């Protein structure tokens, strides 16, 4: 009998084998690798679009459940087998509000220009 595996929860805004690069691709590859030796649960969204956060992954009625009792929202549950044979679970949460990219860019620009941010950044990296 296989001993109990240590549990790891991985949180990523997007998790899919369809992602072509970036941190989401790295996270997908790490989960595929670690699933052989750990009990992995991925917490992510149903989105595949990092610009709009549109829900792209459909909820399949037979594999979803509801969270809580007051404000129940569908959560898609899936069990996968990695390319190396390990198994892992994916919980995909519904994005309730699509991202307003113009507003996001405007606020990001304001944040990056903030002199307080620059001071904090320098102190964080030790310069």
Distance (Å, whole) CA 48 – CA 57: 8
CA 51 to chain centre: 14
- Which domain does 117 fall in, by range? 100-127
Do residues 60 and 85 share a domain? Answer: yes
DSSP string, 105-122: HHHHHHHHH-HHHHHHHH
For residue 61, being part of any structural domain is answered with: yes
Average pLDDT taken over every residue of the chain: 82
Total domains in the chain come to: 2
Q: Is 1 a residue whose pLDDT tops 90? A: no
For residue 112, being part of any structural domain is answered with: yes
Do residues 60 and 113 share a domain? Answer: no
Do residues 19 and 79 share a domain? Answer: yes
Q: Give tens-digit pLDDT for 63-75.
A: 455 555 555 667 8
For residue 82, being part of any structural domain is answered with: yes
Pick from 74, 72, 2, 1: which is nearest to 36 by CA? Answer: 2
For residue 70, being part of any structural domain is answered with: yes
- Asked if residue 76 lies in contact with residue 68, where contact means CB atoms within 8 angstroms, the answer is no
Q: How confident is the model at residue 91 (pLDDT cuts 50, 70, 90)?
A: very high
């Amino acid at each position: 009998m296989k001993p109990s595996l240590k549990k790891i929860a991985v949180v990523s805004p997007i998790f899919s084998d369809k992602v072509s690069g970036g941190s989401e691709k790295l996270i997908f590859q790490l989960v595929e690798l670690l699933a052989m030796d750990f009990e992995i649960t991925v917490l992510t969204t149903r989105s595949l679009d990092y610009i709009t956060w549109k829900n792209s992954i459909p909820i399949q009625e037979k594999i979803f459940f509801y969270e809580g009792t007051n404000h129940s929202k569908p959560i898609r549950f899936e069990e996968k087998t990695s390319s190396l044979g390990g198994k892992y679970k994916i919980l995909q949460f519904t994005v309730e509000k699509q991202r307003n990219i113009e507003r996001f860019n405007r606020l990001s620009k304001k944040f990056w220009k903030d002199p307080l941010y620059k001071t904090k950044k320098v102190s964080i990296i030790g310069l």
